[in-house]
Amino acid sequence: MYVCFPKVHQWLCSIKACNADPTNRPDVVLVATHGDMLTDKEGRRRAETILREMSGMFRTHLNIADQVIVMDCRRSQTSEMTQLKKCLHNFHEALLRKQQDMPKLCAEIIKCVPEWCKSRCSPKGPVMDWDTYRRAVKEFNPAVEENFLQKSTEHLHDQAEIIMVRKSASRSDSIVILKPSWLGKDVFGPTLAPENFVERLRRTADDLVTRDEIYRVFEDKSDPELVITLLQRFQLCHSYNGKEFVFPSLLTQEMPKEAWLPTGEPMTLYFGKAWLSRHHVRIRRVQCC
């Protein structure tokens, strides 16, 4: 408890600090993910104690679920996972009841999504480029203006009905993902999978992931080049030399110095993490309480 308490408190302080609307209380579910390490009921009692403490501290700022879920995060078909899904579903339903009515165009787009996935998308991904998406919308609404379509699509994006990803500043380079669950399950899942998962990316001795490895993992279900594009846009993957890629979430060692040299590629981002003594670093501290 003494280890978990400050970590949970820090996360909740961060959520509170990032909430721009003081009239809205963000929904929070506390999940203890290492339930497999518990040998008795003491762990569950500690988790419930943390829940009571946090609910009291943040009762005016956060809407914390009245139950803490203790689970083995490595297993998916468990009663605890079902409990978590039910809790999230209840939060989702509550959010929908508070939402204002969406524009008519948005409702029409949602109705067309299943058919578009079958007739206009590749079997390897429910994805449309902006021009294809615009033409599909104009088939049932020829008078729709570009700006209104843009705003309506952004509204659906905010509602997580679809996901719009911009490859560049130009609107015409946007990608529209018709099924957000596909992005999470078939793209992010294998990308972020830990070592004990069968379907995961394997790294080289230098902590890099080759293009061939990305093809090996994704080509049966998705378009590997599209996957690379999406991962780069979400900053989960960065090109190292065009043939190898850096996945920050998979790094286990310090990158070689030449990895920091400019490449001239517009999509390349530079990143890193280093641990230094606080006596060698002077930074401003922001406290959330």
Q: Where are the chain's structural domains?
A: 4-98, 104-178, 181-260
Which residue from 69, 71, 4 is spatially nearest to 35, judged by alpha carbons?
71
pLDDT given at position 281:
45
Q: Tell me which DSSP letter residue 287 carries.
A: -
pLDDT given at position 63:
92
- What class is the 104-178 domain? mainly alpha
d(CA 6, CA 289): 12
Partner residues linked to 31 by β-bridges: 69
pLDDT (tens, 9 = 90+) of the chain, 289 residues, equals 455 788 888 889 888 988 877 788 899 999 888 777 776 677 788 888 999 999 999 999 999 998 888 888 777 788 888 999 999 999 888 887 877 777 899 999 999 999 999 999 988 889 999 999 999 999 999 999 999 999 999 989 988 899 998 866 667 778 999 999 999 889 998 888 877 777 788 888 888 899 999 999 998 888 999 999 899 888 888 888 888 998 887 777 665 667 667 777 766 666 655 554 444 444 443 433 3
pLDDT given at position 269:
64
Which residue from 188, 265, 263, 258 is spatially nearest to 230, judged by alpha carbons?
188
pLDDT given at position 251:
76
Which residue from 34, 35, 101, 90 is spatially nearest to 63, judged by alpha carbons?
90
Q: Which two tokens stand for residue 132?
A: 């294809």
Q: Which two tokens stand for residue 130?
A: 């902006």
3-state secondary structure of 209: strand
d(CA 76, CA 5): 26
pLDDT given at position 127:
93
Global confidence as pTM: 0.60
CB distance 93 to 57 below 8 Å: no
Q: Tell me which DSSP letter residue 279 carries.
A: G
The pair phi, psi for residue 177, each rounded to 5°, is: -95, 115
